[in-house]
Structure 1
């Protein structure tokens, strides 16, 4: 089973915890990278990010107070 790196640090506002990456995410090495995955759009629409980010920006989320594991 593929494991993606945690993107965490102290003081985050929210941490999203997944169970196992999908095939596309595992192959690309980024969270929620599948073409049908709505995570990045919903993250922006919910006001967590100032713009819609792409999966390859996952490591920048802690700068916005968001963690992934």
Structure 2
């Protein structure tokens, strides 16, 4: 995004779990109904959302790992 003049200041993610939809199971090459993680990732420039990605992954193949900074006092 920097290459087009948009500096991303932060990213937000909402993660949910559910059963794979038939077309998702086919694409992911997993049995129908396997649990998947659904990640809605939004990129922001300050308070303005500039891009959203919807990501679906098989829950048995991925680990979501987060590191959250704790602000100083």
Decide: shared fold, TM above 0.5.
Answer: no
Select the structure with the greater relative contact order (CA < 8 A; seq sep ≥ 6). 1
TM range (shorter): under 0.3
Identify, as 1 or 2, the structure richer in helix: 1
Q: Which has the larger radius of gyration?
A: 2
- TM-score, normalised via structure 1 length: 0.25
Query: Which of the two has greater strand per residue?
Result: 2
